[in-house]
Every structure is written in structure tokens, then in C-alpha cells.
Amino acid sequence: MKTFFHLITVPVFTLTLLLSPFVLKDSFAHGKEKHASAKSSVTYTNSIKPIFDKKCAKCHGKKSPEHMGFVKDVEKYTAKKIGPKMDSFSHLVSFVIWPDAGSLAKALDDGRNTEDGKPGKMYERLGKTEEERQKNLGIFKKWVGYWTMKAWSDITKDEIGRIKIAY
């Protein structure tokens, strides 16, 4: 008979193994190694956060509900033009890899990665002009490294390893 501890520990341990490429060891005072993505010139703090603050925070900021709170009452929040909270590195990354893998790509994509060629519902918000939208989309794509719209249940471990998100 499995204990409650076992039921919680196994999924957390498995998730830790799957997400280990994203851990920046130098984010802790005693860490010595950096993940390769930490060397990238496109990081959350220097590239993504400024775009987010300017283009996304109004609907996905401090007053937005956590992801599961949003999911519980999508219609209410959508009517108020409020999306799920994405105003921190941790919140935003959850829409890249887990638990809502591919969601950021689906929302921001310009349509070049979809069968019907239609852009994601938030693509227009990336800028006032097509040039600005393409520039900001390019920054997001470079930050993610592996632009995929696959859901968590469909993404492979190899594909997870190709995602490069730097703080």
C-alpha cells in the first residue's frame, strides 16, 4: 500500500529530474556551475521582463489569479480581460514547460507554426506594428530556445532538454 508521502514524493522527484536542465546552480549562494542558458544574452531579467511589463502586465500582472484559480473560473476572468498570473520568472516558465507546456508559444506565435496559419490570441499584443511584434516574438523565441506548442503530455524528454530559459 502506497503512503501519502510516496504518492507525493515520486511525482515531485520525477518532475525534478525532468526539469533539472533549467536549474541555475549559481542561483544559490553555494552554487558553482551555471547552466549553459545562463550565458545567453537573452534572459528573463534583461529581455523578457521589460517586454512583459510593457505589453502583458496589465492583464497578467499582480492582480491576476494563479493559474489554477484562473482555470476554475475562466469565463469570469476572460470577461474582465484578466489572464492568469505571469508576472514572475516562475509564473511565466510554468506556461513554457510545466504544468501548461506550450501555452506561451500558442498564445504568442505569429501563425507560422500552426496548420491554419492563424496567430495566437496574444500575438497582436506584442507590439503596435508587425515589425515590433516580430522583434518581440524573436526575443521570446530566443529565450525559450525550443519553440514548441506541445502540451506537457506530448513533449519528449529530448525536447524538454532543448528548452533554454535563463533567469
- What distance in Å separates the CA atoms of residue 105 and residue 120, rounded to the nearest whole number? 8
- What distance in Å separates the CA atoms of residue 78 and residue 76, rounded to the nearest whole number? 6
Task: Centre a 10 Å sphere on the Cβ of residue 59 and count the other Cβ atoms it contains.
Answer: 17
Of all residues in the chain, the percent with pLDDT exceeding 90 is 75
Going by pLDDT thresholds of 50, 70 and 90, the confidence category of residue 39 is low
pLDDT score for 12: 39
| pLDDT tens-digit map of 92-144 | 999 999 999 999 999 999 999 999 999 999 999 999 999 999 999 999 999 99
User: What does pLDDT average to over the chain?
Assistant: 84
| pLDDT tens-digit map of 6-19 | 443 334 334 444 45
Give the residue, 50 or 12, on which the prediction is more confident.
Answer: 50
Q: State the DSSP code for 150.
A: -
pLDDT score for 8: 38
Contact of 136 with 130, CB cutoff 8 Å: no
Distances from the Cα of 85 to the Cαs of 7, 48, 58, 62, 63, in angstroms? 28, 15, 10, 7, 8
Rg (alpha carbons) of the chain, rounded to whole number: 17
pTM exceeds cut of 0.85: no
Contact of 166 with 37, CB cutoff 8 Å: yes
